[in-house]
Structure 1
Amino acid sequence: MMRGFYNGVSGIKTQSFGMDVWSNNISNINNVGFKASIPEFKNLINQNLVSAGSGPTSDQVGLGATKQTTALDMSNGSFQSTDNNFDLAIGGDGFFGVVDKTGKNYYTRTGTFDIDAAGNLVDTRGNLLLGTLANFTPTTPSASALKKYGQTSSAPQAYTVSQEELNLGDPGSQKGITLPHFLFMPAEATTNISLKGNLNSSRITDKKTTALEASEYAYTLDNTNKTISLNGQIPLSTTSLGAKAGDSVVVKVKDGDGKFSEFSTTLESDGTWQINDKSLKFMDFANLEVNAEVTSLVEVPNKEKLTSDIYNADGTKSLVTINLTKQIPQTGDQTIWDAVATITDVSGAVQNTAMGSLTFNGSGRLVANTLTSVGGVNLNFEGDGDADVYNGMTSSANARKDFNIKRDGYAEGLLSKYSVDDRGNIMANFDNTRAFPVAKVALYHFINDQGVAKVGDNLYEATANSGEPFFYKNKAGETVYGAQILANKLEMSNVDLGQALSEVIVTQKAYEASAKSITTSDEMIQTAIQMKK
């Protein structure tokens, strides 16, 4: 019966522990990055009432319960959008790393970071966010850059940044992230232009009117009947550029008084034509002017004009213009375009010119190019060089052009803002539209997340149970996150209020039941004492 007292007491203590944990969860429901704890219990010991025998069951009685551990619920909380570029949330597994002023590392899911006056990326407690930094090189910016920055004599040290992808090194080599206030990007001259699209090779025709020489036709007048008859012959063209059978011949007759008549016919297959006995009844035969002309439907060259601005070494702009004209008539199944590339300055003055041609086969693929550069700028019409992919300039009977022109080079630029992409890169965005990574946020993992120790302020530290922090790596040995870093978002507490309140009620009832077992045991003892009386 005494065991009932002790079991009741252990139950009260155990449920008090559970109440402490669940009430702590509820109090942190609005705590950014907070991870809920789940109380876990175990029984103490069991007492054998009789020695083990041949019976199918054991005769044991438990001697109470006690707390075992508080397990961490590491599931994601909901995400809340913010206006701060350095508010970060982890979509998945992992921890941010921070370092305090003493050099000790901690780990957290709370991503409330910002830049302090010294350029350090810190949390609300002043701990620096850990990551890998790009190489910054001190530089002297141009006078125009200093003027744009707004300071000349008192401007902070300017830096340039290496324009390379960043990869996290070892977990132990990560450093506190410090970002320069003044980043300068010198101008870079354009050296390459890539051009893609389709040059429409469809046949284009237009009307061409040619006056016939007097020697190319003859006419006779019938003064009695006041009529005119004409005939002639024109050499027919074997190409699409000259006269052909069926083309129209127009004869215009005009007298001295301004009266006129017009007659027409078509060319025969041998190039001959004739007009017979056309009336000129009301015209003055003494003063007639007769003219003839042939109107042909001839092929005209297709033309395209491509332009792209380029940057010079001093950051000024010029314009590259490429005029493309289809050669006519074409021979065989190839299509050849004459190309003239011209570079002009902002005033329109010509700086450089180059000429060449682009030859396409019957499938529209570029097979030859003699216009490879102009003024030191390489012109790439071939795409990426994959012979099986039509991703450069093509020429086919398709009106859809889809021209796409890309070039390197840029004007000088100053840092306009920092941002964070979903790969954890802190990007320096310049006012010349360029952006480069300047740091990469470290994302740490543990063999046993449950083994990390809470040290307050939503910080954790590694323990023997958690193991040392490490980075995920893929099959190629490259460091990967295994999660997504979300900028302008904060991970809220993952405490489920409904579950927490339910657990509080259950804990309360368990506490009352344990207390009841004590009072009941007391009543039983009192009854036993009364039996003696």
Structure 2
Amino acid sequence: MLQSFYTAFTGLNAEKNWLSVISDNIANVNTIGFKAERAVFEDLLASSVTTYNNNSPKNKEIGGGVFVSSTVKDFSQGTFMNTNNPLDMALDGEGFFMVKSNDGLTYYTRNGQFRLDANGDIINMLGMKIQGWMLDDKGNMAGAISNINVAMSMDPKITKEVAFKEPSNLDSRVDVITSAFDPADSTTFNYVNSQTVYDSLGNPHTLSYFFQKIDTGTWKVYTMMDGSLIPVMDGATGQYYKDIILKFDDTGMPTSATLDTQVTLTQNESLTAATPGIFTLTNLPVIGSIHIKSVDGVTMNIHDLGDGDGDGKGDLVDDNGNVVGTVDYTTGTITLTGDLSNSTNLTVDYLNSEVAGTVAGDFKDILVSGYDPNTGATSPFQFTVNYNGMRQLASDFIFYAEQDGNSKGDLMSVSVSEDGVVKASYSNGKVRDVARLAIATFKDKEILVRKGSWLYLPNQQTFTPVIMPGGVISKVRSGMLEMSNVDIASEFINLITAQRAYQANARVITTDDQILQETMNIKR
């Protein structure tokens, strides 16, 4: 008789524990990344006796009740909520984000609420750092899994390579030009376009390309920086040349490049004026090549427009296009005017001593040698130009060239692609792939135990996860959060079931008490 009391009592305890699980699920209906728990009931056996009649077994089994032996997590994916915060992330598929605490312990979570701290580390709401692989300049994963850190600024990078890309095109239909090139005379070239390159301190410079068609399938290319003609170099000999001759085949593909017209590059020539404002160059300059870098010790950027009217003279202009002097190409005399007319010292770069002659080049690797205002002649501003992507077809001129330099930039924003690549955008217009998120999963996710605050740990540290980059087993959805997967309707049904089951077990105890009372009354 007393056994039934205890059997019903186990039912009360089991339903009470189930109510605790249900209430926990309902309480966490708004918890980001929460996974619902399901109670697992297991029966108890009070006695089991087997007897035989005519060699046939007869079982007598009396149950001892029930208990909640464990809970099972429902790892099905929750619905996504749009937050428009790029560092809010949700995993569309299997896996967990990996976060590391200050004591070096790695936790696993589906809660993708992250932010950038003052040091540039991506952290969760508990200050734990998200884990992944840092990427090198080429976007390759470098080193082991570590904290993801986004640089708050980007250092300047000197331009080392310029490359023409498709659909760059020189129009094959234009006329051949036979007159000598003069940057001030638009009739001496067919096409001009510019791009920005950067020196060692990140200062921008305007690099201009002048294309002159000299024969069928043959073009001369002149390069100017900040309005001054700069040479190309033969890397083997160190000799300078004024221009490049590009040749194309009958399909419009580049076939060869020749360095044309040998010149001398005079850098950092210091001149003193016998008469204020009037200076004489040591050598006669090539038209359009003069670049005055300083006047009376003050840094300047004055360049030569060229001889536009054929009188043997050219104007000198500053960055704002103001005429500040003239140059006589026949005497090498520079005359500064206006506010600079009383100057007595200047520093100048220019090309001189033209010599007929060519040398074979490589259209994929033309070395251009300009000037670096920060280092001068000690370290010329040199970069390669790759013309491999240039075409010559019967189509309009198209200019598209990429360069690898940049100015200093400050962090503007951070975004994450669906393959888990963290991208940083800087004020200099550059977007850098910084890192790639590490996503972990387990062969048996039931080894994970809740540690509170959205975190999980394996119940034994010997269980290691399968780790792979984002985008492999799941897509990373930036600007979204995964909501709790608790189904309110199901939980309410479970709540009613648990309540009725508790009442039923309580009725059993009441009935047992009544029967026991009747038994006690037999003595009367």
**Residue 243 of structure 2 is aligned to residue 354 of structure 1:** yes
CA distance 1:428–1:509, change in 2 (3 Å): same
Q: Is the 8 A contact 1:446 1:466 kept in 2?
A: no
**Matching residue within 519, 522, 533 for 2:513:** 522
SS of the equivalent of 1:354 reads: strand
**Residue 403 of structure 2 is aligned to residue 412 of structure 1:** no
- Which residue pairs with 2:438 in the alignment? 442
**Matching residue within 297, 313, 321 for 2:209:** 321
SS of the equivalent of 2:141 reads: coil
How far the C-alpha of 1:2 sits from its partner, in A, is: 4.3
CA distance 1:196–1:165, change in 2 (3 Å): closer
Letter in 2 for 1:370: A
**Residue 56 of structure 2 is aligned to residue 65 of structure 1:** no
- Which residue pairs with 2:39 in the alignment? 39
Encode CA deviations 1:481-513: one digit per residue, 9 max, x unaligned.
522233332222221112211211121122222
How far the C-alpha of 1:309 sits from its partner, in A, is: 0.8
SS of the equivalent of 2:490 reads: helix
1:39-438 aligned within 5 A = 39-45=39-45, 47-51=47-51, 54-55=55-56, 58-133=59-134, 163-167=137-141, 174-181=145-152, 183-197=153-167, 305=191, 307-314=193-200, 315-323=203-211, 325=213, 336-346=216-226, 348-352=227-231, 354-361=243-250, 364=251, 366=253, 368-370=255-257, 372=363, 373=366, 375=368, 378-383=384-389, 393=391, 395=393, 403=398, 405-422=400-417, 423-438=419-434
CA distance 1:370–1:51, change in 2 (3 Å): same
Encode CA deviations 1:155-190: one digit per residue, 9 max, x unaligned.
xxxxxxx524353755xxx44445554x33223225
CA–CA separation in structure 2 for the residues paired with 1:178 and 1:465: 27
- Which residue pairs with 1:507 in the alignment? 498
Q: Is the 8 A contact 1:190 1:311 kept in 2?
A: no
CA distance 1:468–1:204, change in 2 (3 Å): closer
CA distance 1:318–1:459, change in 2 (3 Å): same
Letter in 2 for 1:14: A
CA distance 1:132–1:202, change in 2 (3 Å): closer
Q: Is the 8 A contact 1:29 1:495 kept in 2?
A: yes
CA distance 1:200–1:345, change in 2 (3 Å): closer
SS of the equivalent of 1:512 reads: helix
Normalised by the size of structure 1, how large is the TM-score?
Answer: 0.61
SS of the equivalent of 2:494 reads: helix
Q: Is the 8 A contact 1:132 1:166 kept in 2?
A: no
Structure 2 regions of 5+ residues with no counterpart?
A: 176-188, 232-241, 259-362, 370-382
Q: Is the 8 A contact 1:78 1:493 kept in 2?
A: yes
Q: Is the 8 A contact 1:81 1:488 kept in 2?
A: yes
CA distance 1:434–1:118, change in 2 (3 Å): closer
- Which residue pairs with 1:288 in the alignment? none
SS of the equivalent of 2:221 reads: strand
CA distance 1:19–1:89, change in 2 (3 Å): same
CA distance 1:51–1:167, change in 2 (3 Å): farther
**Matching residue within 461, 467, 476 for 2:457:** 461
CA–CA separation in structure 1 for the residues paired with 2:214 and 2:513: 109
How far the C-alpha of 1:13 sits from its partner, in A, is: 1.0
CA–CA separation in structure 2 for the residues paired with 1:28 and 1:131: 29
How far the C-alpha of 1:11 sits from its partner, in A, is: 1.3
How far the C-alpha of 1:63 sits from its partner, in A, is: 1.9
CA distance 1:343–1:402, change in 2 (3 Å): closer
CA distance 1:86–1:49, change in 2 (3 Å): same
SS of the equivalent of 2:464 reads: coil
Q: Is the 8 A contact 2:247 2:255 kept in 1?
A: yes
CA–CA separation in structure 2 for the residues paired with 1:316 and 1:124: 41
CA–CA separation in structure 2 for the residues paired with 1:375 and 1:465: 58
SS of the equivalent of 1:450 reads: helix
Encode CA deviations 1:282-338: one digit per residue, 9 max, x unaligned.
xxxxxxxxxxxxxxxxxxxxx9746341414353322333536495xxxxxxxx423
Report the identity percentage: 23
Encode CA deviations 1:246-269: one digit per residue, 9 max, x unaligned.
xxxxxxxxxxxxxxxxxxxxxxxx
SS of the equivalent of 2:217 reads: strand
Letter in 2 for 1:40: V
1:4-15 aligned within 5 A = 4-15=4-15
Letter in 2 for 1:494: N
Encode CA deviations 1:87-112: one digit per residue, 9 max, x unaligned.
23222222223333333332222222
Q: Is the 8 A contact 1:190 1:310 kept in 2?
A: no
Encode CA deviations 1:344-389: one digit per residue, 9 max, x unaligned.
334x44334534343333xx36262336247356554545xxxxxx
SS of the equivalent of 1:51 reads: strand
Q: Is the 8 A contact 1:89 1:485 kept in 2?
A: yes
CA–CA separation in structure 1 for the residues paired with 2:466 and 2:104: 18
Q: Is the 8 A contact 2:410 2:428 kept in 1?
A: no
Letter in 2 for 1:472: M
CA distance 1:340–1:62, change in 2 (3 Å): same
Letter in 2 for 1:11: G
Letter in 1 for 2:157: A
SS of the equivalent of 2:400 reads: strand
How far the C-alpha of 1:29 sits from its partner, in A, is: 0.9
Normalised by the size of structure 2, how large is the TM-score?
Answer: 0.62
CA distance 1:349–1:382, change in 2 (3 Å): closer
CA–CA separation in structure 1 for the residues paired with 2:17 and 2:401: 66
Structure 1 regions of 5+ residues with no counterpart?
A: 135-161, 206-302, 328-335, 384-391, 474-478
Larger radius of gyration: 1
CA–CA separation in structure 1 for the residues paired with 2:399 and 2:523: 105
CA distance 1:204–1:318, change in 2 (3 Å): closer
SS of the equivalent of 1:426 reads: strand
SS of the equivalent of 2:91 reads: strand
**Matching residue within 469, 474, 488 for 2:479:** 488
How far the C-alpha of 1:463 sits from its partner, in A, is: 1.7
